[in-house]
């Protein structure tokens, strides 16, 4: 029996989580596996109830689970709060407390949705299948920071920090993952300017010696932001730091035109993982039943694969999603087709499994 801590969060979070749990239930029956699923307060709703975005009870539950499934956090009402009181601070604390340093963000073009990509057809070739491997518990997100009063105003700073061991482990994740894919990594940094990037590059080069079968290139982050648009099919795995990964993974996912479709996994080298859609809490459409639950449903598929070694069950979900799309069912964000709402989309996937 696997223990899953579920954090529905804010905005459309609870709505998409509902559908993901519906699908998980079908998997449980079909594959005869028991999941111990409990929901906990997290994000803005936890601020309202407990005064902090990642309450102790939630933390304890997450630390004692095999996997954490997250909806989305944040909303207008909490935007005025100070840095460490915001829903986003809870997200950072969650990642750090779980120690999930490797954030895997696939940017996949779903064949039936090819026309949704903003790129011209000839650039898409046989589709897009990029995996961004983003370092998630280091860099500027967690380095020393502060704001000081000075003559005439303030001085603020944030520090990008990386140590050898942090770079090593994320590089190893990327190289191991590359072996299961097309054996090609583009490591992205700003080594012409940053000390952290030069250390990053040298460690990645060192690790690559243990993987002579994997092709490694280095690219500057500004060039990568260009190349993703110019010739996206040159990329297989993009390995990069926390802040660069934040930017580049959003860019890459937009290229697929299916941001409502993309899941993510955050891992730490054992079986424990944090799974969440890459989209946000979309407060503007919360409650309208327009949200696309597929990214969260596909996050469950990643959870089955990475945390529970249930590759067949994972594939069953992915195939069902593809079939539902092929048969023309679409939530509002996906463009023309048989329009369905959040629940109907969840029902369809459950039915097709």
Q: Which residues are annotated as a binding site for NAD(+)?
A: 75-88, 280-292
Active site residue 246: yes
Given 4, 221, 239, 286, the residue binding a copy of itself (CB under 8 A) = 221
Nearest-approach distance from CB 285 to ligand IPM, in angstroms: 18
- Alpha-carbon distance of 206 to 222, in angstroms, equals 24
Given 69, 70, 91, 119, the residue binding ligand IPM (CB under 6 A) = 91
Count, residues in the chain: 353
Paired sense of beta strands 2-9 and 35-39, if any? parallel
Pick the catalytic residue from 129, 158, 250, 347.
250
- Alpha-carbon distance of 119 to 215, in angstroms, equals 27
- Alpha-carbon distance of 171 to 7, in angstroms, equals 29
Active site residue 190: yes
Site string for ligand IPM, 274-293 (x = CB under 6 A): --------------------
- Alpha-carbon distance of 115 to 334, in angstroms, equals 10
Q: What is the DSSP letter of 101?
A: -
> Which residue, 129 or 158, has its beta carbon nearer to a copy of itself?
158
Contact status, residue 227 vs residue 252, Cβ threshold 8 Å = no
Total residues interacting with a copy of itself, rule: CB under 8 A:
60
Active site residue 141: yes
Q: With contacts defined by CB under 8 A, name the span among 12-20, 46-54, 216-224, 314-322 that binds a copy of itself.
A: 216-224
Nearest-approach distance from CB 173 to ligand IPM, in angstroms: 17
> Which residues, 71 to 90, sit near ligand IPM by CB under 6 A?
88
Given 25, 48, 222, 326, the residue binding ligand IPM (CB under 6 A) = 222
205-212 — which CB contacts under 8 Å span 24+ positions?
207/168, 207/171, 207/172, 207/175, 208/171, 208/175, 210/175, 211/175, 211/178, 211/179
Nearest in space to 236 (alpha carbons), one of 146, 130, 139, 339: 130
> Which residue, 247 or 339, has its beta carbon nearer to ligand IPM?
247
246 binds ligand IPM (CB under 6 A): yes
Nearest in space to 107 (alpha carbons), one of 237, 244, 214, 282: 237
- Residues making contact with a copy of itself (CB under 8 A): 74, 83, 86, 88, 92, 118-120, 123, 140-141, 143, 145-147, 150, 152-165, 168, 190, 192-196, 198-199, 203, 221-223, 225-226, 228-230, 243-244, 246-251, 253-255, 259
- Residues making contact with ligand IPM (CB under 6 A): 88, 91, 192-193, 222, 246
């Amino acid at each position: 029996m696997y223990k899953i801590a579920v954090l529905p969060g804010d905005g459309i979070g609870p709505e998409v989580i509902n559908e993901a749990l519906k699908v998980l239930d079908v998997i449980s029956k079909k594959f005869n596996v028991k999941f111990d699923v409990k929901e906990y307060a997290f994000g803005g709703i936890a601020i309202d109830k407990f005064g902090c975005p990642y309450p102790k009870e939630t933390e304890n539950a997450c630390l004692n689970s095999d996997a954490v499934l997250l909806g989305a956090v944040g909303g207008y009402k909490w935007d005025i709060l100070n840095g460490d009181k915001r829903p986003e601070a809870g997200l950072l604390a969650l990642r750090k407390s779980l120690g999930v340093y490797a954030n895997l963000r696939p940017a996949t073009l779903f064949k039936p949705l090819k026309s949704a990509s903003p790129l011209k057809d000839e650039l898409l070739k046989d589709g897009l299948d990029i995996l961004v491997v983003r370092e998630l518990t280091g860099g500027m997100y967690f380095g020393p920071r502060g704001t000081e009063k000075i003559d005439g105003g303030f001085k603020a700073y944030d520090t990008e920090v990386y140590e050898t061991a942090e770079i090593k482990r994320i590089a190893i994740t990327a190289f191991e993952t590359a072996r299961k894919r097309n054996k090609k990594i583009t490591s992205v940094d700003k080594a012409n300017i940053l000390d952290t990037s030069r250390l990053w590059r040298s460690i990645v080069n060192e690790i690559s010696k243990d993987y002579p079968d994997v092709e490694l290139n280095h690219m500057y982050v500004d060039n990568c932001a260009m190349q993703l648009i110019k010739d996206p099919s040159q990329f297989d795995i993009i390995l990069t730091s926390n802040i660069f990964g934040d930017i580049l993974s959003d860019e890459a996912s937009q290229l697929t035109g299916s941001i409502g479709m993309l899941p993510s996994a955050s891992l730490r080298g054992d079986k424990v993982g944090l799974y969440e859609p890459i989209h946000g809490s979309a407060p503007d459409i919360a409650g309208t039943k327009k949200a696309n639950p597929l990214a969260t449903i596909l996050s469950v598929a990643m959870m089955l694969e990475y945390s529970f070694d249930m590759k067949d069950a994972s594939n069953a979900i992915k195939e069902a999603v593809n079939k539902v799309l092929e048969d023309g069912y679409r939530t509002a964000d996906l463009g023309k087709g048989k329009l369905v709402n959040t629940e109907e989309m969840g029902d369809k996937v459950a039915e097709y499994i």
